[in-house]
Chains A and B, each alone.
Chain A
């Protein structure tokens, strides 16, 4: 059933050529959403299946289960053997993988445009007919444990980030890492996985995003053919798990083998999904603020902290407007040689104070807006990125058209609004600070030996 059909003329304010972005949106009777964006520059298509499930859907004890399930999705179905999915995609000249985030799990293939059917046939199969084999799960738990060691255990910055999130978020599920705690990874049972799959993997909990050199009507009939027969599921209603109000600055230290100190600061802030209606401009003002601090080599952090004062070897600001739950505005950095974390922190706080007490100049505002406008054009060089934007927004419960409105919304931000969000949110009460305390690495000089490896 076709519920909506939209053709959007994208308005990119400074760009002379009128750029049209053809997007068609459909919904099948079983609830599956299909969004097709035409991009005829190259004879390729990217196909992504997005499920509304991720680490923020998990509770303690099974953290990371969405991610391990993503791994198991390659390990066989009623009609496909382990790894056969990947073999068939490879044989069709496709590239494929999957990723899990806090708010989504997504699977993708990039193919020559006439191979889209292969993607639909296989994705439809594993949407409802996954087989969780005990032996395969045991092996995959080991693979995921290795993945966690590689990404987190042996990476001092990742250890800080994990402890930081677990400190800043008390009851929000953003408390725990996407990959899960190690003791949870080591204890998933096949039945846990089967339940998780049954609960979330269904057409009415999925969005299929197609971007490329395709005809939307043909894609729609292909989708009906393969995804149409799948039965919907009664998906569970999520509890809100709204983060409790922070009542004061939280400070932690993380000791890990490292050479360089590192710090992470974060203030609790709203995102587009959680902001009060009357203040819907706030996330865009925070986005602008992130740009003022860290939007390129000419932004304040680079200009004044890395150059200027030379107090930072590197320093960055980060804010994402699009997530399911309220999030944080982050500042991370490493002090310059001979400078301390305390000095870097002080310099960052001075920058924050300046934003609260002085209006940013029109020149700075203009510069960030020019970059936002230009980036909107540059992003269209990648079909994959275009599909990512659509899928992510839909999956966190927002309209993909926000990607088009994003530029206008940032353009509308005023200097007063930037100052207002700086005053409102950058208070110690909502601040969390984490510092890496480098412990000795104690690595000996390389020992060279001929032949086999000794003594291990």
Chain B
């Protein structure tokens, strides 16, 4: 970095403007669901998210069960079929959503707040959440679609790489499997296990309800009660097993008739609420998390033109989520690109960033803080994360000061303690060099 840029950075540090974070209202419903609410009166709409600790980490041996349960919620409820449910939402322009990852299973509703739209949309959302029927024909159809999805993965080198990466990083841990399940597990899923899964995990004490939009706190309380009162009180999901980091280097090669080799490399990273969260976050921002200006991008793309995209990121989860590096390059350059990526990581773990790089990263992260919260949907995403992972309510308020407190020494120390550059799991999916 040149002196001119450093000068700009230093002058910017003095002009940091003060930013207010949204005021988060938090309470519990009568039967124990956690509620997080931010009013946003400007647009006549509301976003409602209900997140359960009911992701694929709860699949046990029945890989794909959590996803299938989540996907079945709107396929029949309270005696209504899929068509009737879809019509009820879409007649009033409401958008229903569902998704399920390793930790979280989510259902969401976006609707206008005018009564003619809001009342029927919320009524149907409540029904889908609290009275799913799980009808057999839909169950068979969704299973078939999941199998088609698994077939589609086989024609995508990045999907193949991701599956192999998780499986090798996590070994026996429940994070090892993909939420979409596999070709052996999906055909064996049964309605009985699905019903049992719903009963155990879609319960009030295992739920986080998020509301952002043009409703008052009184209305928000009423909505949250309506959603939650139809759920069994139940119990929070038990804690997951600890992740044991792998201790030896491993390389997995998967042949694929592609012109590029997709490389995914990494190891176990950190959890949400990790003591090292901010240190590792800022460190990785410099190494590979800041897009076109990261060290990795500079080495792999800017200097050598080896890949269109190169990145590294932590995916913090309930337990230790992965720390993942990736790029794609022409088959005959795979070795070279991988070496550049490894060398860059190794140097970073040994030397850490420079003061100038750290300053630039802080400027970037704190300067863009307002952009993280500039829409209702982004705020709702943060509330779900704060609620689900039990982060402090002042998480957003203190975010910038925690970023600013990170030092070069802390980054070096945390990287050398936690990131084993010589013990990476590396997956290569691609063809032979031509």
Interface residues of A (CB under 8 A from B): 14-17, 19, 41-44, 74, 81-84, 86-88, 90-95, 97, 110-112, 114-115, 138-147, 149-150, 153-156, 257-260, 295-299, 302-303, 307, 310, 313-314, 334, 336-337, 366-367, 370-375, 377-378, 380-383, 438, 441-444, 446-454, 456
A149 in contact with B433 (CB, 8 Å): no
Cα A323 to Cα B375 in complex, Å, equals 28
By beta carbon, the residue of chain B nearest A376 is: B93
Cα A313 to Cα B86 in complex, Å, equals 18
Cα A309 to Cα B163 in complex, Å, equals 32
Query: What residues on B are CB-neighbors of A92 within 8 Å?
Result: 12, 363, 367
A366 CB → nearest B CB, Å: 7
B374-385 vs A, Cβ < 8 Å mask (1 yes, 0 no): 111100000000
B366 in contact with A93 (CB, 8 Å): yes
Cα A154 to Cα B430 in complex, Å, equals 10
Partner of B90, one of A41, A83, A155, A371: A371
A94 in contact with B367 (CB, 8 Å): yes
Given the contacts A42-B373, A92-B367, A260-B155, A377 and B251 also touching, CB distance less than 8 Å: no
B281 CB → nearest A CB, Å: 16
Query: What residues on B are CB-neighbors of A154 within 8 Å?
Result: 157, 258-260
Given the contacts A83-B302, A297-B90, A383-B374, A146 and B260 also touching, CB distance less than 8 Å: yes
B86 in contact with A302 (CB, 8 Å): yes
A41 in contact with B374 (CB, 8 Å): yes
B311-342 vs A, Cβ < 8 Å mask (1 yes, 0 no): 00000000000000000111100110010000
The 17 listed contacts between A and B (C-beta, < 8 Å) are A90-B360, A91-B5, A94-B368, A112-B368, A146-B305, A257-B155, A257-B257, A297-B89, A298-B83, A298-B89, A313-B148, A447-B252, A448-B168, A450-B250, A450-B251, A453-B251, A453-B426
Given the contacts A115-B367, A153-B259, A456-B432, A140 and B114 also touching, CB distance less than 8 Å: no
Query: What residues on B are CB-neighbors of A448 within 8 Å?
Result: 168, 250-252
B253 in contact with A456 (CB, 8 Å): yes
B87 in contact with A337 (CB, 8 Å): no
Q: Does B235 reach chain A (CB closer than 8 Å)? A: no
Cα A379 to Cα B151 in complex, Å, equals 34
Partner of B375, one of A138, A145, A381: A381
A381 in contact with B433 (CB, 8 Å): no
Query: What residues on A are CB-neighbors of B9 within 8 Å?
Result: 91
B394 CB → nearest A CB, Å: 19
Query: What residues on A are CB-neighbors of B17 within 8 Å?
Result: 43, 112, 114
Interface size class of B (residues with CB under 8 A): 35 or more
Query: What residues on B are CB-neighbors of A454 within 8 Å?
Result: 253
A259 in contact with B5 (CB, 8 Å): no
Cα A341 to Cα B160 in complex, Å, equals 25
B19-49 vs A, Cβ < 8 Å mask (1 yes, 0 no): 1000000000000000000001011110000
B400 CB → nearest A CB, Å: 10
Q: Does B401 reach chain A (CB closer than 8 Å)? A: no
Q: Does B77 reach chain A (CB closer than 8 Å)? A: no
Cα A156 to Cα B305 in complex, Å, equals 25
Given the contacts A259-B152, A370-B92, A150 and B255 also touching, CB distance less than 8 Å: no
Tally of contacts, chain A with chain B, CB under 8 A: 271
By beta carbon, the residue of chain B nearest A212 is: B374
B335 in contact with A42 (CB, 8 Å): no
Cα A257 to Cα B429 in complex, Å, equals 14
A149 in contact with B330 (CB, 8 Å): yes
By beta carbon, the residue of chain A nearest B114 is: A16
B81-114 vs A, Cβ < 8 Å mask (1 yes, 0 no): 0110111011111111000000000000011101
B364 in contact with A93 (CB, 8 Å): yes
B257 in contact with A441 (CB, 8 Å): yes
Query: What residues on A are CB-neighbors of B304 within 8 Å?
Result: 139
A377 in contact with B45 (CB, 8 Å): yes
A311 CB → nearest B CB, Å: 12
B8 CB → nearest A CB, Å: 6
Partner of B112, one of A15, A88, A144, A156: A15
Query: What residues on A are CB-neighbors of B375 within 8 Å?
Result: 41-42, 381-383
Query: What residues on B are CB-neighbors of A143 within 8 Å?
Result: 301, 305, 307-308
Cα A145 to Cα B307 in complex, Å, equals 9
Query: What residues on B are CB-neighbors of A90 within 8 Å?
Result: 290-291, 293, 360, 363-364
Those of B386-434 within 8 Å (CB) of chain A: 426, 428, 432-433
Q: Does B136 reach chain A (CB closer than 8 Å)? A: no
Partner of A91, one of B94, B117, B302, B360: B360
Query: What residues on B are CB-neighbors of A139 within 8 Å?
Result: 302-305
A374 in contact with B112 (CB, 8 Å): yes
Query: What residues on A are CB-neighbors of B40 within 8 Å?
Result: 41
